[in-house]
Amino acid sequence: MQEAATAFAGGPDALEDILLGLVADVDRAVHEPLEVFPVCHHSPASAVAMARRLREKQPKVVYLELCEDMAPLLTELRNCRLPVAVQSFATETDGFPAEWAPLSVVAPITEASAEYQAIAYALDTPGVELVLVDRSSDHVFQWDARAHAPAPEAGPDAPPEDEEAALHGDAVGVEIGDLRPRFAELEEHLLRHGKVRHWSEWWHQYVELPLGDSDHDTYRQVMLLIGSLFRRLAPGDPHRVRVDEDRERYMWTRMREHLAATGTEPEDCLYVCGAFHAVSRVEEFGVRGSDTFEIGPRSATRWLHGLIPSSHTAIEAQFGLAGGSVSIAATQWAKNLKRTRVKPYVLEGQSGRRSSKSRKAVAAAPGPAVPPSDKLTDFLGQPPALDRLDEAELLGWSVEIVRAARRNGYLASTADAIAVFETSILLAGLRDRAKPTPYDFQDAAVTCIEKDTVPGRRDVRRIVEIMMGGDRVGQVGYDALPPLARDVHDRLAPLGLKLQQRGVRRALLDIASRPELEACSDVLWMLRYLMPQGSARAIMGERKLGERPIQESWDLSLGTHQRALIELGYEGVSIEQVLEQRLRRSAYAPQATAATVLAAVEDATLYLRSRRLADELGNHALQVLSAERNVDGAPEVLRRVRRLLAYYRTSEPVLPPWIEAFTKAGYAHYCTLLPTAFTDDDAAVRHVSAMLGFLFGMESLALSLGCDRTQLELAVAQSHPQDPAKTALLWAAQVHLGRLTRAELRATCDGLLGNPLVVPAYPQYLSGFVHALEPVPGLTDFVVEAVSNAFGRLPDPVLLPWLPTLISTLRKDGSALAPLLIREAGRIFPGRLAALDAWVPPWLDRAEPVDPRPAGTGGFALLAAHPAACDAVAGLLGCEGVWETADPGTSGAVLAGLHPDTAVALEALLTGV
């Protein structure tokens, strides 16, 4: 104490003030008429002391340090398997910053915790009232320190992030009794002098074990002393101190209000709170404290409450505890119960536990009040006793760890078991401990068995944690689930799987033979959309627009992701409602684009089959597109509009009005933005290509709806790009519109290859041609020709440095269109290597045009060879005659000149004039 006072309090003279303050704090709490019971969160010693005290005192009212709005959920704990967490959840905030959403507060509860003993006693004992007195979940965020200090980081001994550690998500944790020094230097001082590695080990060695067998007065005085010490040596963080004191004022105000409203005597009550708050020095402390504190109103945020599964790893990760500490606490809880023979309180019907008949018995009348005695002095002065039972336990641990190590691939033997046993005792002696602790045993096992390699998936430290109790994972029972989760389980019942159990379940859906399974398929696809990856994973089968499922295979782990399913229940009463809300939220978000809204339209059609919602979101997509001033979303818009248009054309008799209006508006919109996009440096070539793809692909539909093609021709004529890729894209558009012939385009490309100054930029031109395959797929053969000419004409000093640029350009910008080029090249080039030497490209094998007329004959030769056509015309004109032999020296033109009336009459008949 002298060293600590000198190091942290400014000198040894401060020790007297600290000690006097500790005595005053303990004396004040002990003599309070309303008994204050200090606890530490997830402490087996606190749980045993709580169970013992409840059976002795039999209080009529139990005040518990827990968020007051969580009270209705506590009765559902009997339908769960611990550990679980009581959760308050809000998806929409009103009064809090929007970036905080969703808001989540959790209070984990384990069997080896004092609060569970108090809850079980109060809920199953007739005539006992349980009152939660801590600030509400809304006030937790009203007093939140996010804007004042960063979130605490997990220490080096904290467990790694894994699936079980994420059971609580990013919720704010609420615990009873946060007994950890808030002064980093003090904690380091205690760890160094205690010869331990982390705080969990210090607490287990110097508090948990000694208090496991202590009586009530000793336990109470020690916990008050620790709470007062940590409180007086805490740093002066103004915000955290203010929050702690406001919590204490809040709780004492609530308790005095309840006492005044019910008329209950303080002697018949028990106040369960953390040891840090049990020695509060605020004016509102006690039943006779000041009533000046005013509790502020809650915000307009709508809070929902439920139970979510928890685990030892999740608790350790959220509260910065060492890995395996909660499992060791559970083992210590079982040992304490066996040694002290204390009967714990268990909720009636608790999953996995037998009901306790003693809870149904009539409570014994409490004895007369006895003034508290000084048990602290004798407790601190007695030497530690060596329990002979721990030697047998250590032997059992040593044998078991060797057996577990061999199962995990380690070459362990009986000699290793002996080495672990002796090393554990040696480490305990080096650390001035009377007997080895689980942490000493863990270090000894790592030293003697693991050495320098880990042959399997688990290291020895993790194997010890599993052996000590493992990572117990809780489960929320069916009756305690929200309506949405129960509805999901009911609708998936035809699968015949135990979906509430943890692990992966394989579901095989033969919808062709069992049509009733199609409803299960719909539920699974919606769960896949809404829940985290891995909760519902499709192995076989897919869902596309216009297709019906036949057979599907799924890997389901709804029991493992039970928290996510429960939180879906906070958003609605059915998964269809939740999905519709999320689609609306994404579509009407301030940053939503036309592509985002079209994605919502497609999802509404695909998963909900809702024409009403699709039409509503489609009309909104039209408004969003009209307001956009950039073309970043053009590729996604093009892909989704094509899919939706193909779906509606095959499944509906007429197109929906919104997609017709979207086509017209998109045609005019992209025609307006096209000249700017060609010259804008921020618009990539794929964006311009998607715009042209929309304009050319939707052109027939747009023209049928009344659009003018002149608008597109003017937009292309006004485009004057400088970028080579966009220039090539413009040439392709001109070819499609007929303003540029292929011969002219081929001559232009030949000129580019012949210009040494332009050759380095030729890959960019090719990139533009590749992107042009999206709006003008008919140019595929020309692009193959352009690439082949480059390889055939360029010399090696130019071609070889250019190849990496060409490959990277095609990989980056043309990966989706490369298959078109590959198929076209496979069609044009010979299939065998031997034929390549004699092969001539088709664009080089162009013969001179040949006159189809036979030599030495006139035009009438064809007419004489096929007289049926002339007979048909003569019959149409009403003429009758016979064929005569033609004079070889005359031509048909002479006959037409001699008889012009026939030609005039034929012209009048054909033209209708």
DSSP output for 858-873: -THHHHHH-HHHHHHH
Note the maximum CA span of the chain: 148
Rounded to an integer, what distance in angstroms lies between the CA atom of residue 330 and that of residue 113? 9
Helix (H) or strand (E) holding 14: helix 14-30
850-867: b (≥16 Cβ within 10 Å) or e: eeeeeeeebeeeeeeeee
Burial class (CB in 10 A: 0-12, 13-18, 19+), 569: buried
Q: Does position 336 have pLDDT exceeding 60, yes or no?
A: yes
Tens digits of per-residue pLDDT, 415-466? Answer: 888 898 888 888 888 877 777 888 888 888 888 888 777 776 778 887 887 7
The mean pLDDT value for 5-29 works out to 71
The mean pLDDT value for 382-395 works out to 64
pLDDT value of residue 357: 45
Give the number of C-alpha atoms closer than 13 A to the C-alpha of residue 829, restricted to the C-beta side.
16
What is the CB neighbour count within 10 angstroms for residue 84?
A: 31
pLDDT value of residue 837: 75
Rounded to an integer, what distance in angstroms lies between the CA atom of residue 203 and that of residue 194? 10
Joined together, the tokens standing for residue 223 give: 């916990």
All residues at 6 or more sequence positions from 394 whose CB lies less than 8 Å from its CB, including other chains = 421, 424, 425, 436, 441
Position 537, amino acid? R
Tens digits of per-residue pLDDT, 171-181? Answer: 676 655 566 66
pLDDT value of residue 62: 92
Contact 67, 137 (CB under 8 A): yes
The mean pLDDT value for 622-650 works out to 88
Rounded to an integer, what distance in angstroms lies between the CA atom of residue 118 and that of residue 131? 11
Rounded to an integer, what distance in angstroms lies between the CA atom of residue 53 and that of residue 47? 10
Q: What band does 152 get if pLDDT is binned at 50, 70 and 90?
A: very low
Closest CA to 437 of 328, 338, 357: 328
- Inter-CA distances, 36 with 29, 57, 208, 292, 689, Å: 7, 13, 20, 22, 74
Pairing of strands 269-274, 35-39: parallel
pLDDT value of residue 579: 92
> 336-345, 356-365, 396-405, 554-563 — which is least confidently predicted?
356-365
3-state secondary structure 250-266: HHHHHHHHHHHHHCCCH
Q: Does position 148 have pLDDT exceeding 50, yes or no?
A: no
The mean pLDDT value for 769-793 works out to 85
The mean pLDDT value for 337-342 works out to 84
Rounded to an integer, what distance in angstroms lies between the CA atom of residue 179 and that of residue 184? 13
> 395-404, 498-507, 786-795 — which is least confidently predicted?
786-795
Q: Does position 889 have pLDDT exceeding 80, yes or no?
A: no
The segment with the largest mean pLDDT, out of 22-31, 320-329, 720-729, is: 720-729
| Helices and strands, number each (H, E), in the chain | 39, 13
Main-chain phi, psi angles of 132, to 5 degrees: -90, 130
Joined together, the tokens standing for residue 314 give: 């999740």
Q: Does position 372 have pLDDT exceeding 70, yes or no?
A: no
Tens digits of per-residue pLDDT, 94-111? Answer: 878 777 778 888 888 888
The mean pLDDT value for 683-695 works out to 88
Q: Does position 859 have pLDDT exceeding 60, yes or no?
A: no
pLDDT value of residue 379: 55
Determine the straight-line distance between the first and last CA of the chain, rounded to whole angstroms. 122
pLDDT value of residue 600: 92
Joined together, the tokens standing for residue 810 give: 């095609």
Q: Does position 585 have pLDDT exceeding 70, yes or no?
A: yes
The mean pLDDT value for 294-305 works out to 85
Q: What band does 356 get if pLDDT is binned at 50, 70 and 90?
A: very low
Rg (C-alpha) for the chain, rounded Å, is: 42
Joined together, the tokens standing for residue 696 give: 């050319």
Closest CA to 226 of 245, 249, 203, 247: 203
What is the percent of the chain with per-residue pLDDT over 70, rounded to a whole number? 83
Rounded to an integer, what distance in angstroms lies between the CA atom of residue 562 and that of residue 478? 11
Rounded to an integer, what distance in angstroms lies between the CA atom of residue 579 and that of residue 595? 18
Q: Does position 353 have pLDDT exceeding 70, yes or no?
A: no
Q: What band does 17 get if pLDDT is binned at 50, 70 and 90?
A: confident
Contact 245, 237 (CB under 8 A): no
Average pLDDT, the chain: 80
- Helix 575-587 to helix 594-603 angle (10° resolution) is 160
pLDDT value of residue 181: 65
In this predicted model, which residue has the larger pLDDT, 849 or 14? 14
pLDDT value of residue 362: 38
Rounded to an integer, what distance in angstroms lies between the CA atom of residue 74 and that of residue 121? 12
* Ranges assigned E (strand) in 276-415: 304-309
Q: Does position 380 have pLDDT exceeding 60, yes or no?
A: no
Burial class (CB in 10 A: 0-12, 13-18, 19+), 779: buried
Closest CA to 105 of 557, 525, 773, 570: 570
Rounded to an integer, what distance in angstroms lies between the CA atom of residue 48 and that of residue 114? 8
Token pair 């009733």 is at which residue? Answer: 516
Rounded to an integer, what distance in angstroms lies between the CA atom of residue 498 and that of residue 501? 6
DSSP structural state of residue 205: I
- Inter-CA distances, 26 with 19, 183, 228, 404, Å: 11, 21, 7, 47
In this predicted model, which residue has the larger pLDDT, 156 or 535? 535
Q: What band does 525 get if pLDDT is binned at 50, 70 and 90?
A: very high
Rounded to an integer, what distance in angstroms lies between the CA atom of residue 224 and that of residue 275? 6
Contact 28, 135 (CB under 8 A): no
Token pair 């611990």 is at which residue? Answer: 82
The segment with the largest mean pLDDT, out of 256-265, 444-453, 462-471, 749-758, is: 256-265
Closest CA to 398 of 424, 419, 417, 426: 417
Cis check: omega of the bond before 159, within 30 degrees of 0: no
Contact 718, 675 (CB under 8 A): yes
Cross-strand partners of 510: 551
The mean pLDDT value for 586-611 works out to 91
Rounded to an integer, what distance in angstroms lies between the CA atom of residue 176 and that of residue 247? 12
Token pair 């005053």 is at which residue? Answer: 24
In this predicted model, which residue has the larger pLDDT, 12 or 452? 452
The mean pLDDT value for 631-647 works out to 88
pLDDT value of residue 454: 76
Q: Does position 188 have pLDDT exceeding 80, yes or no?
A: no
Contact 678, 721 (CB under 8 A): yes
Q: What band does 601 get if pLDDT is binned at 50, 70 and 90?
A: very high
Give the number of C-alpha atoms closer than 13 A to the C-alpha of residue 485, restricted to the C-beta side.
25
Contact 205, 448 (CB under 8 A): no
Contact 311, 162 (CB under 8 A): no
Q: What band does 63 get if pLDDT is binned at 50, 70 and 90?
A: very high
- Inter-CA distances, 308 with 261, 312, 588, Å: 34, 14, 30
Rounded to an integer, what distance in angstroms lies between the CA atom of residue 149 and that of residue 153? 12
What is the percent of the chain with per-residue pLDDT over 90, rounded to a whole number? 10
Closest CA to 841 of 820, 824, 819, 823: 824
pLDDT value of residue 772: 87
Burial class (CB in 10 A: 0-12, 13-18, 19+), 430: exposed
Q: In what order do the strands lie in the sheet with 505-510?
A: 505-510, 551-556, 536-540
Q: What band does 184 get if pLDDT is binned at 50, 70 and 90?
A: low
Q: Does position 801 have pLDDT exceeding 70, yes or no?
A: yes
What is the CB neighbour count within 10 angstroms for residue 505?
A: 17
pLDDT value of residue 573: 85
Residue 220 sits at the vertex; the CA angle it makes with 215 and 226, to the nearest 5 degrees, is 125
In this predicted model, which residue has the larger pLDDT, 228 or 435? 228
Q: Does position 149 have pLDDT exceeding 50, yes or no?
A: no
pLDDT value of residue 580: 92
pLDDT value of residue 151: 43
Rounded to an integer, what distance in angstroms lies between the CA atom of residue 217 and that of residue 377? 11
Closest CA to 346 of 80, 72, 130: 80
Pairing of strands 536-540, 172-173: unpaired
In this predicted model, which residue has the larger pLDDT, 531 or 212? 531
Token pair 């005290």 is at which residue? Answer: 53
pLDDT value of residue 583: 92
pLDDT value of residue 617: 92
